[in-house]
Amino acid sequence: MSRRLRKKIEYLLVGCDVTLNGNAPWDIQVLNDDLYARVLLNGSIGLGEAYMDGWWEAQDLDGLIYRLLAAQLDKRVRSWRDLASLCVSKLLNLQRRSRAFLVGQRHYDVGNDLYEKMLDRRMIYSCGLWDSATNLDDAQEAKLKLVFGKLGLEPDQRILDIGCGWGGALEYAATRYQVRGVGITVSQNQVEHASRRCDGLPIAFVLRDYRDLRGSFDHIYSIGMFEHVGVKNHRTYMDTVHRCLRRDGRFLLHAIGTAVSTSPTDPWINKYIFPNSMIPSQSQIATAIEGLFYITSWQRIGSHYERTLLAWRANVEHHWQELSQAHNERFFRMWRYYLSASAASFRARRNDVWQVLLAPVDA
């Protein structure tokens, strides 16, 4: 049985430049022959879980996954989980208000120690800009300069950060541009860390779902949060932003995006990394803003994300001995797989990163 299943896997790998137990750094080294059945039965989630369990290795993990994605292998190996995920996403609103805090608890609250070691000094958890940067600190500062330059911040303006992370972006805005601000997040750890970071600055951080936003702001921005909103809620999100933004203000949406509209996320990502996430498409964003906002500019910066992700992975690997006091080996392999697969998806141009600058239509 194992031999027959191995032949099926080898047939699927034809054209991928990947072999089983080969000599290339991106070749799959099989450590458990049950791997073949697990992948054929469960697809992407089977491959990811088998890596977490130590059933296979690859020296160049992102190089392997890039080759699988470039050959469209993920679209050829479908499992019942993919169909179930599609059906559930069509029938239910997985990002409804009652589930809004799940991603905060499951992902962002796994421990500030991990993110402190993985990210730059401001703890910005999104794509940096590497045009003239040689390290994460400079790459993320370049990205913040781009964001706030587009918004045209002026002293004493009141700004809103939807999905504020650990407060690094608002801290930068307040110290460099002398603005006041409010940041909201669904992570209790982020609220506590951001409040300590920005103590003494005219900034407040609140544990809150975007649907509960009130108030008026000169400018609003959101960096890497829209991927958690879900297509069934895109219009509600944009209505909320429009209601809270002054008519002469600007809204900057920074988000991972894809060229093809879809509802479900990858089953492995949904289970282990970002529950209920959904990467938006260009047309879905355009539909959500119709009648509310004009598009002032739409910039693509996704070519910078692979390098950002690989820098994060290098930091985790460098600090793993310290991090292993709180996280076990299976978690480490899960996190390494997540960062490697994400880097591969940008190299294969499956995903992009957009900065969309919007102005209210009734300005």
Give the span between the Cα atoms of 239 and 147, in whole angstroms.
22
- Tell the residue number behind the tokens 């421990």, with chain if given: 111
Residue 91 clears pLDDT 70, i.e. is over it: no
Mean pLDDT of the region 67-75: 90
Of 338, 249, 235, 253, residue with least CA distance to 289: 235
Residue ranges of alpha helices (H) inside the chain are 2-13, 35-52, 61-70, 73-76, 80-91, 102-103, 112-118, 136-151, 168-177, 188-197, 234-244, 267-272, 282-289, 305-318, 320-323, 329-347
Residue 93 clears pLDDT 70, i.e. is over it: no
Biggest alpha carbon distance in the chain? Answer: 70
Of 102, 24, 32, 99, residue with least CA distance to 63: 24
Of 144, 115, 149, residue with least CA distance to 128: 144
For 146-168, what is each residue's pLDDT tens digit? 999 999 999 999 999 999 999 99
Query: Using alpha carbons only, what angle is made at residue 155 by residues 151 and 158, rounded to the nearest 5 degrees?
Result: 65
Q: Is residue 92 part of a domain?
A: no
Q: Is residue 203 part of a domain?
A: yes
Q: Is residue 150 part of a domain?
A: yes
Q: Are residues 56 and 117 in the same domain?
A: no
Q: Are residues 63 and 171 in the same domain?
A: no
For 300-325, what is each residue's pLDDT tens digit? 999 999 999 999 999 999 999 999 99
Q: Is 164 exposed, middle or buried (0-12, 13-18, 19+ CB in 10 A)?
A: buried
Question: Which pLDDT score, from 0 to 100, does residue 105 have?
Answer: 83
What percent of the chain clears pLDDT 70, i.e. is strictly above it?
A: 92
pLDDT band at 103; cut points 50, 70, 90: confident
Q: Are residues 43 and 125 in the same domain?
A: no
Domain count along the chain:
2
Amino acid occupying residue 156 = D
Q: Which of these three, 78, 108, 136, is where a domain ends?
A: 78
Mean pLDDT of the region 80-98: 54
Question: Which pLDDT score, from 0 to 100, does residue 275 have?
Answer: 87
Measure CA 214 to chain center: 26
Q: Are residues 27 and 126 in the same domain?
A: no
For 173-203, what is each residue's pLDDT tens digit? 999 999 999 999 999 999 999 999 999 999 9
Q: Is residue 307 part of a domain?
A: yes
Walk across the sheet containing 180-185 and list its strands.
203-207, 180-185, 158-162, 217-223, 245-257, 352-360, 293-300
Q: Is residue 88 part of a domain?
A: no
Q: Are residues 14 and 132 in the same domain?
A: no
Sign of CA pseudo-dihedral 192, 194, 198, 202: negative
Please give the residue range of the domain that contains residue 257.
97-360
80 vs 242, which has greater pLDDT?
242
pLDDT band at 294; cut points 50, 70, 90: very high
Q: Which residues of 230-264 are buried (b: 16+ CB within 10 A; e: fewer)?
A: bbbbbbbbbebbbebbeeebbbbbbbbbbeeeebb
Q: Are residues 297 and 148 in the same domain?
A: yes
Q: What 8-state DSSP symbol labels residue 98? A: G
Q: Which of these three, 15, 50, 78, is where a domain ends?
A: 78
Q: Are residues 101 and 142 in the same domain?
A: yes
Q: Which residues of 8-27 are buried (b: 16+ CB within 10 A; e: fewer)?
A: ebeebbeebbbeeeeeeebb
Amino acid occupying residue 295 = I
pLDDT band at 102; cut points 50, 70, 90: confident
- Tell the residue number behind the tokens 């609220």, with chain if given: 191
Q: Are residues 338 and 293 in the same domain?
A: yes
Q: Is residue 334 part of a domain?
A: yes
The CATH number assigned to the domain holding 268 equals 3.40.50.150
DSSP reduced 3-state for 82: helix
Q: Is residue 309 part of a domain?
A: yes
Q: Is 74 exposed, middle or buried (0-12, 13-18, 19+ CB in 10 A)?
A: middle
Of 352, 349, 176, residue with least CA distance to 281: 352
Q: Are residues 56 and 120 in the same domain?
A: no
Q: Is residue 84 part of a domain?
A: no
Amino acid occupying residue 118 = M
Q: Are residues 266 and 307 in the same domain?
A: yes
Q: How many CB atoms lie within 10 A of CB 61?
A: 21
Mean pLDDT of the region 95-107: 72
What percent of the chain clears pLDDT 90, i.e. is strictly above it?
A: 82
Q: Are residues 74 and 101 in the same domain?
A: no
Amino acid occupying residue 87 = C
Q: Are residues 49 and 104 in the same domain?
A: no
Q: Which of these three, 33, 50, 78, is where a domain ends?
A: 78
Mean pLDDT of the region 216-245: 96
- Asked if 135 and 312 touch (Cβ cutoff 8 Å), the reply is no
**Tokens at residue 286, please?**
């355009």
